[in-house]
Amino acid sequence: MSGATHRSSRRAEPGAGPPPAAVGTTRRTLLRGLAGAAGAGLTGAALSGCSSPKDVARASTSDPWRQFAGTTLNFISENTAPTAAIAANLAPFTELTGIRVNIVTLELTALVQKVALDLASGQSQYQIIYADPYQVLAPYSKGLVDLRELAADSSVPHLTGGFGDFIPTQLEAAGKFEDRDKVFALPYDCPTMIWHYRKDLFDKHHDAMSNDLGFDPTPSADTTWDQYAAIAKWFNDKTDDIPYGTGHQAKQHDSLMCDFSNVLWSYGGDYFDNGKAVGSLGTTDPGRCRLGSDEAAEAAAFYDRLLASADPASRTWDWDGVGAAFRAGRIAMCPNWHEFAASNEATMPGKVGYARLPKGPARSASHYGGTGIGISANTLPNERRAAWLFTVWATAPRTQLANLKSRAGGGTPTRTSVYELPEVRKAEKRPSAMPNMLTANAVDEAWKPANIGLRPKIPMWNECDTAIYTQLSRMLLGDAKPAEAMRDTADRIDRIVARGWVS
């Protein structure tokens, strides 16, 4: 999961599905083998035994946008807000290019499996790929096109604003892997965890909280996690306006890793040495896991205490669950992805505030969950150029602005130039026609290099993620002490990393 709001699939999947896994082969073994195949440069040979595919036709025209008119492309994506917005308004792209795009939206795990199978097949059922940095880009980067080659191709439209228009931390985290000189995906969405709070209740009880707690409870750059916990307990004990002070996405699921990571990083802990580099540029060899450190144990102990006073249903919630609970008036505040602001404002307009997450002993850290879109390296030359047209259009400032306004989906821009538009700046204050922009100040702080939280971008991350949230769940159930849970997680991750990705 990249952190964006889930939505149901809007289009039927085109064509036949990929070949099934061999009987007796586990999904993990299959994907590891496919990663090796993709890594070996399997971009032309068809393992499936099918005849060689034909390239799409290229018309002789003076309009570079129309040279592949009549082509059909397939875009496979997680069911995210930007894709929902694009799916609802594809007509401008088709009118511009004459290209039809089928959009397949899936849950991320299913997407990863289909992408892996497609890359290993040597052909490209899906020309355009939602390249989750951790589950697609890191393990399969050699199966993706280096987009700088297409950006330099004078026969196709250029990338509006160039690579430099993308927010730098996002371009590296969502678009690159190990090699700074290659770009495998263009930043497409940017969900980031921030502090959502009931501003109406904070305002109502401000003086009483200040007197009782001995500090200003208004969320600010100086607010600490200890103060956050104290505010949560105050709401539990001192008011009947709302059942619980805080709620969390602490289900035994990827969401639990996301929620805990904010605290881990703020305490100075990390999953590996050089955590920022491992999270931004990525690596195939991250070294030994550092969850056995004192900082990680302290972070886990605090998180355990925090959850003990949170809404007990937190252990059943992912990001959607905690978002729904917040909108239903069960909790006064929560950490959640910033793109839930649109739903908040639709349900309780004017009652919600947004801030950067609290700081720990080391720093404030807000988990970034953004993803890019890339092009399969199995595509043939003209098909690849046609896919480039969609990739350029889908991430263009004009399209990102339209997505921001869309009632069908949304998301927030990944380009600096969009945030500088007068109408977008105006939308940062209520009344806002673009409610996600109400989080602008919070995410602007969160995306700064000192504050951005980046999980490890390594090929074996999916297994590591499972180990993390499994042990955290044991801790929250009382089956493991915080330090023990961290040590056991570190041991498990070390075994995963030592085994490597390709056997």
pLDDT at 27: 33
Query: What tens digit of pLDDT does each residue of 62-83 get?
Result: 999 999 999 999 999 998 888 9
Q: Tell whether 80 is covered by a domain.
A: yes
The distance in angstroms from the start CA to the end CA of the chain is 26
- Separation of alpha carbons 151 and 185, rounded Å: 12
pLDDT at 42: 35
Q: Tell whether 22 is covered by a domain.
A: no
Q: Tell whether 6 is covered by a domain.
A: no
Q: Tell whether 7 is covered by a domain.
A: no
Amino acid 295 reads: E
Shared domain for 133 and 241, answered yes or no, is no
pLDDT at 109: 87
Tell me whether strands 193-198 and 186-189 are parallel, antiparallel or unpaired.
unpaired
Neighbouring-strand partners of residue 196: 334, 354
The closest of 169, 140, 38, 190 to 462, measured between CA atoms, is 140
Shared domain for 350 and 383, answered yes or no, is no
Q: Could you tell me the residue range of the domain that residue 446 belongs to?
A: 423-450
DSSP result, 86-109? HHHT-HHHHHHH--EEEEEEE-HH
H/E element holding 42?
Answer: none
Q: Tell whether 45 is covered by a domain.
A: no
Q: Tell whether 475 is covered by a domain.
A: yes
Which of the residues in the chain have pLDDT under 70? 1-52, 409-410, 501-503
What residues have CB less than 8 Å from 461, skipping those under 6 apart?
A: 134, 135, 138, 455
Strands of 193-198's sheet, edge to edge?
A: 244-246, 331-337, 193-198, 352-355
Is there a contact between 104 and 76 (Cβ–Cβ < 8 Å)? yes
pTM: 0.88
Q: Which two tokens stand for residue 267?
A: 């305490």
Shared domain for 242 and 260, answered yes or no, is yes
Q: Tell whether 333 is covered by a domain.
A: yes
Shared domain for 263 and 362, answered yes or no, is yes
Shared domain for 80 and 214, answered yes or no, is no
The helix/strand/coil state of 175 is helix
- Separation of alpha carbons 252 and 476, rounded Å: 10
Alpha helices in 122-224 (DSSP H): 138-140, 147-151, 168-175, 199-204, 206-213
Last residue in a domain, options 394, 416, 438? 416
Lookup result for tokens 């088709």:
94
The helix/strand/coil state of 213 is helix
Shared domain for 161 and 262, answered yes or no, is no
Shared domain for 88 and 164, answered yes or no, is yes
Lookup result for tokens 């879109």:
373
Neighbouring C-beta atoms of residue 95, cutoff 10 Å: 9
Alpha helices in 152-195 (DSSP H): 168-175
Shared domain for 410 and 460, answered yes or no, is no
Q: Which two tokens stand for residue 197?
A: 């709070």
Shared domain for 316 and 464, answered yes or no, is yes
Shared domain for 283 and 359, answered yes or no, is yes
Shared domain for 144 and 258, answered yes or no, is no
The closest of 76, 89, 94 to 12, measured between CA atoms, is 76
- Which DSSP category does 197 fall into? E
The closest of 410, 462, 40, 476 to 252, measured between CA atoms, is 476
Q: Which two tokens stand for residue 433?
A: 């026609």
- Separation of alpha carbons 44 and 41, rounded Å: 8
- Separation of alpha carbons 410 and 318, rounded Å: 20
CATH code: domain of residue 70? 3.40.190.10
> Which whole-number Å values give the CA distances from 345 to 146, 314, 411, in the listed order?
39, 22, 14
Q: Tell whether 46 is covered by a domain.
A: no
HSE-CB at 182 with a 13 A cutoff on CA atoms is 12
- Separation of alpha carbons 502 and 494, rounded Å: 16
Shared domain for 311 and 376, answered yes or no, is no
- Separation of alpha carbons 349 and 362, rounded Å: 35
In the chain, how many domains are there? 3
Please, what's the b/e burial string for 432-446 (b: 16 or more CB within 10 A of its CB; e: otherwise)?
bebbbbbbbebbebb
